[in-house]
Amino acid sequence: MTAQQPLTYDAFVELATADSAVVGLVLKGSQAHDGMITPYSDHDLYVVLADDARTGLTRFTGHRSAELDLVVVTLTEFRGAGIPDGERCALARARIVLDRLDGGIARILADRGRLDPDEAFRDSGERLDAYANSLYRSVKNHRDGHALAARLDAADSMRFLLDLLFALDRRPRPYNKYLEWELARHPLPGWDSDVLLRAVDRISATGDVTLQRHLFSLVEASAREAGHGEVLDAWGDDLDLMRPQEPDAADSPLSDLVVPPSPRPPSRP
């Protein structure tokens, strides 16, 4: 294409589909998430080539424009060797445009979208410790009168919390842009997505210590059930500062975050 005729997504897909060296086309990003497309959304496309194939399409490696970004990789690279871990969440919900491997591209995406058990256990343990560390700092700074530090640490803790909860479910955490989309369609087991998101929102904005403590009580129960008691017990007596305190121990502020369902219109007789 010339500078006057930039390469479009549709034109490239037609070109790639006609090339037998291409074994897969995978669309990621906003264009692969229903309801997330805006006038500014481009097309982020993986072009997967057979390992030993020769094709002129390699000239498009690194192509970037306002409409189309291309990542050209071999099949071996797409299986994992050439894909950074940060792309796992993007590929987990990617859309298959072309699969010449009888479902092989789909199986690769499914594998990339799930952490293996050992990896998930290791990652969730690390994220749990990081979450507890930021939570402890937030609560301690609040106690000592350092309001800004308390809020900043609270916001940091929410990042680690989300990493933890997704790792416990053996899933890569989605980018922040797609967090609400993901939880609306694929809730985390044992968590009400709306309540969780509202808690994350309030804690990030205000550093609400009472809410932080009640949320931690739920996280602690989930983490211990998943086998991470040793990580928590290493905090010793400091856990007491993170847990709900009197006189607020009886009533959970999490209940305030539940939005009652909208009333249904009366049915017609």
Q: Are 45 and 9 in contact (CB under 8 A)?
A: yes
Residue 252: its pLDDT value, please? 67
CATH code of the domain in which 38 resides: 3.30.460.10
Out of 112, 131, 147, a domain closes at 112
- The answer to whether residue 5 sits within a structural domain is no
45 with 139, same domain: the answer is no
- The answer to whether residue 267 sits within a structural domain is no
Query: Concatenated DSSP letters for 106-163?
Result: HHHHHHHTS--HHHHHHHHHHHHHHHHHHHHHHHHHHHTT-HHHHHHHHHHHHHHHHH
Residue 82: its pLDDT value, please? 62
31 with 78, same domain: the answer is yes
Out of 76, 93, 112, a domain closes at 112
- The answer to whether residue 266 sits within a structural domain is no
145 with 246, same domain: the answer is yes
124 with 243, same domain: the answer is yes
Q: What is the mean pLDDT of each run of 10 residues along the chain (269 residues)?
A: 72 96 96 90 95 93 92 91 76 94 94 92 98 98 98 98 97 94 95 96 96 96 97 98 79 63 35
Residue 4: its pLDDT value, please? 54
Give residue-wise pLDDT tens across range 167-198. 999 999 999 999 999 999 999 999 999 999 99
Q: What share of the chain is helix, strand, coil (3-state, %, to 5)?
A: 55, 10, 35
Nearest to 75 by CA among 111, 16, 15, 22: 22
How many other C-beta atoms are found inside a 10 Å radius of the C-beta of residue 86?
9
141 with 50, same domain: the answer is no
- The answer to whether residue 4 sits within a structural domain is no
128 with 249, same domain: the answer is yes
Q: Mean pLDDT of all residues in the chain?
A: 90
What token pair was written down for 85? 């871990």
- The answer to whether residue 253 sits within a structural domain is yes
* Beta bridge mates, 46: 26, 71
Q: How far is CA 202 from CA 87, 159, 164, 187, 190, in A?
A: 28, 13, 19, 20, 20
65 with 192, same domain: the answer is no
Amino acid at 27: L
| Residues 130, 128: Cα–Cα separation, whole Å | 5
Q: How far is CA 43 from CA 7, 149, 174, in A?
A: 11, 40, 18
95-99: strand order across its sheet: 68-74, 43-49, 22-28, 95-99
247 with 121, same domain: the answer is yes
- The answer to whether residue 235 sits within a structural domain is yes
Residue 83: its pLDDT value, please? 74
Number of domains in the chain: 2
Domain extent, residue 92, equals 16-112
- The answer to whether residue 48 sits within a structural domain is yes
92 with 134, same domain: the answer is no
